[in-house]
Structure 1
Amino acid sequence: MDIRGIFLVLSAAVMWGLIGVFTKFILAENVTALEIAFWRAMFAWVLFLAHAKYMKAIKVQRSDLPVLLSFGLVCVTAFYASYQLAIRDVGVALAAVLLYTAPAWVAFLSWLVLREAMNAAKIACVCMTVAGVACISLGPSLFSGNHIDFSMFGFAMGLVSGLTYALYYIFGKKYLHRYSTPTIFVYALPFGALFLLPFVDFVPKSPSTWALLFAMAAVTSYGAFSVYYAGLKRLDATHAAVIATFEPVVAAVAAFTLFGEHFGVWGYGGSMLVIAAVFLVILGGNRATRIQNGF
């Protein structure tokens, strides 16, 4: 396996794992979750625009603009907003775990939209993910009788972030595979930010807050996607996806170290089920590919 490819994908996972850290520090400056999502999209757009201009890869077919607009609405507006709101309401670690319900959503949506077979591995992935989420959200109250202070809105936003993250795959496979990553985001990011705009309450910001917002966009959007796709050129998609599951580990360690966040036994058990489901569906898909290719 290509060591440089591993390093690149691992770097992307670390960058994505820092989304919650940036969010927590910026929220502490009285910037709302939705304003954070807006500036993350806009600053990342500036960087992707410069990249696309350098590549001379800005033009797209006019007939693809509605799809790019829809991608911006779902995978920028809804995804960026829901994930920031989840971090705000349920914390960095839990939001990252709920984000990684995405493979279960992918399995279901691939069957529903792309007509891909719903094999045993995918069904098991969905069941394990549902069980894991139930352990995280309901385990303490159902099995120990303890009442927990739990934000159902934040929990729902975490699940929405997983769903909209999964739609990156659906859009990419069905519609946007002809374009490079910078080209797609040149159109999707400003559309996504525009849809966020009516819901944003802008507040005055210090230079340090502006610096945090720009750094967040540069690291967790432009930087992470750039190094991830560079790593994909050196690794197969299965290995890259497995390595990327390091993201919730980074988020959990950062949340515990910086903010004192931790799960109970049911939370950790549910988290392990969700991450195990990720590995199962990825490795199951890799096995199916080998069989189709005659290996």
Structure 2
Amino acid sequence: MKKLLPFLMIAFGASLWGIIAVFVKGLGEHGFTAMEIVATRVFFAAFFLILFGIVNFRSHLKLKSSSDIGFFVGTGILSIVFFNYCYFTAMNQISVSVAVVLLYTAPAFVTVLSYLFLKEGINLRKAAAVAGTILGCTLIAGLSAGNSDITLIGILTGLGSGFGYALYTIFGKFALRKYHPFTVTLYTFLIAAAFLIPVTRLWTKAEVFLNTEVLLLSIGLGFVPTVLAYFVYTWGLEKTDGSKAAVIATVEPVVAMLLGVTIYGENLGAVQIAGALLILSSVIIVNLPARRKNAGKMAESGKLEH
């Protein structure tokens, strides 16, 4: 059981990411825009992270240099704000199932961005994963054009969420060379909250937050699929191989699809299922063996912001 526990924790953390639609759609029904939902998520996540930091990570609360804020502008604004906005918008434009699958185009974007900016090579395995991802997206979007559940905005924002997700891995890799994962996560959410709260004027919704359901959804969004998911996933990641963890984490879209079908009555056609399987297979391919040395850190940086 001890050997299985890390794998179960990774799967549990990924499953928590998979139920995020419950909170997003719930707040959307109360009139929250996609950007306001993102602001709510990062605000409550930052609040919980500060509390955890004071209790367990006091030595990781400070930055070594003010100039390092640039790392977290990248992870917090260029990645997490953009990624979440696109992801939450996609959820309201297309089915939850398709939105989460398009999010998983991130590894393909990471491969290309790593080649361009980190000078990492592209081997046959990576090239096959990128090709599989592109073909999967084509099946979901191109051949489903007549499906009323598929919109151009939904597809573009879904792909945007994958791109934003990938950006976190790139910026996160640089930040993790200098800082503990908790520090990276904390300042990512702090910078995102500091940017979004004034932009969305979230305080104007103070009365809405007095609604018990809205408050519970907001707290839940900041804690369950964010802070709790991160800690559970990281605990498992520290005790197992990073590439295995990344593959186990593909349980997230499976959970999201089941949620979409059972709770929101979504239907996936044969073409969409084929596209989804291609994308998820590509994720598995790109994460199986290779770079074992850095696998744990890369998997960590690729999941911290989710």
Instruction: Verify same fold: TM over 0.5.
Output: yes
CA distance in 2, matches of 1:130, 1:219: 32
Q: Is the 8 A contact 2:242 2:292 kept in 1?
A: no
Corresponding residue number in structure 2 for 1:52: 53
Where does 1:247-266 land on structure 2 (aligned, <5 Å)?
247-266=252-271
Corresponding residue number in structure 1 for 2:175: 175
- Give 1:89's aligned amino acid: Q
- Whether 1:161 aligns to 2:164 is no
CA deviations on 1:88-124 (whole Å, 9 max, x unpaired) are 1112111100000011111111111111110001111
CA deviations on 1:12-42 (whole Å, 9 max, x unpaired) are 1110001112211221222222111101000
Q: Give the 3-state SS of the residue equivalent to 1:278 in structure 2.
A: helix
Q: Is the 8 A contact 2:243 2:292 kept in 1?
A: no
CA distance in 1, matches of 2:48, 2:281: 35
Percent sequence identity is: 33
Q: Is the 8 A contact 2:71 2:172 kept in 1?
A: no
CA distance in 1, matches of 2:264, 2:37: 19
Q: Is the 8 A contact 2:175 2:184 kept in 1?
A: no
CA deviations on 1:213-270 (whole Å, 9 max, x unpaired) are 1111101110111111111111110010000000000000001000001221111110
Where does 1:75-90 land on structure 2 (aligned, <5 Å)?
75-90=79-94
Corresponding residue number in structure 2 for 1:113: 117
- Whether 1:242 aligns to 2:247 is yes
Per-residue deviation at 1:80? Answer: 1.6
CA distance in 1, matches of 2:236, 2:95: 29
CA distance in 2, matches of 1:111, 1:174: 15
Question: Do the aligned partners of residues 6 and 289 (structure 1) sit closer, same or farther apart at CA in structure 2, a change above 3 Å counting?
Answer: closer
CA distance in 2, matches of 1:222, 1:87: 21
CA distance in 2, matches of 1:149, 1:79: 21
Question: Do the aligned partners of residues 149 and 220 (structure 1) sit closer, same or farther apart at CA in structure 2, a change above 3 Å counting?
Answer: closer
Stretches of structure 1 lacking an aligned partner (at least 5 in a row):
291-295
Q: Give the 3-state SS of the residue equivalent to 1:139 in structure 2.
A: coil
Q: Give the 3-state SS of the residue equivalent to 1:68 in structure 2.
A: helix
- Give 1:181's aligned amino acid: P
User: Bigger CA drift: 232-241 or 86-95?
Assistant: 86-95
Which residue, 71, 90, 95 being the options, matches 1:91?
Answer: 95
Corresponding residue number in structure 1 for 2:193: 193
- Give 2:77's aligned amino acid: L
Moved over 3 A (4+): 146-149, 199-203, 287-290
Where does 1:202-241 land on structure 2 (aligned, <5 Å)?
202-203=204-205, 204-205=208-209, 206-241=211-246
Q: Is the 8 A contact 1:17 1:250 kept in 2?
A: yes
User: Bigger CA drift: 151-160 or 245-254?
Assistant: 151-160
Per-residue deviation at 1:65? Answer: 1.4
Per-residue deviation at 1:279? Answer: 0.8
Q: Give the 3-state SS of the residue equivalent to 1:140 in structure 2.
A: coil
Q: Give the 3-state SS of the residue equivalent to 2:277 in structure 1.
A: helix
Q: Give the 3-state SS of the residue equivalent to 1:259 in structure 2.
A: coil
Corresponding residue number in structure 2 for 1:37: 38
CA distance in 1, matches of 2:9, 2:41: 22
Q: Is the 8 A contact 1:106 1:166 kept in 2?
A: yes
Q: Is the 8 A contact 1:72 1:191 kept in 2?
A: yes
Q: Is the 8 A contact 2:106 2:162 kept in 1?
A: yes
The number of equivalent residue pairs is 284
Per-residue deviation at 1:289? Answer: 4.2
Question: TM-score if structure 2 supplies the norm length?
Answer: 0.88
Corresponding residue number in structure 2 for 1:293: none
Q: Is the 8 A contact 1:73 1:195 kept in 2?
A: yes
- Give 1:235's aligned amino acid: T
Q: Is the 8 A contact 1:2 1:235 kept in 2?
A: no
- Give 2:121's aligned amino acid: A
CA deviations on 1:151-205 (whole Å, 9 max, x unpaired) are 2112111111111111222122223333223322322212212333424675424
Which residue, 136, 140, 147 being the options, matches 1:136?
Answer: 140
Q: Is the 8 A contact 2:261 2:267 kept in 1?
A: yes
Per-residue deviation at 1:67? Answer: 1.4
User: Bigger CA drift: 39-48 or 81-90?
Assistant: 81-90
Q: Give the 3-state SS of the residue equivalent to 2:119 in structure 1.
A: coil
CA distance in 2, matches of 1:149, 1:282: 31
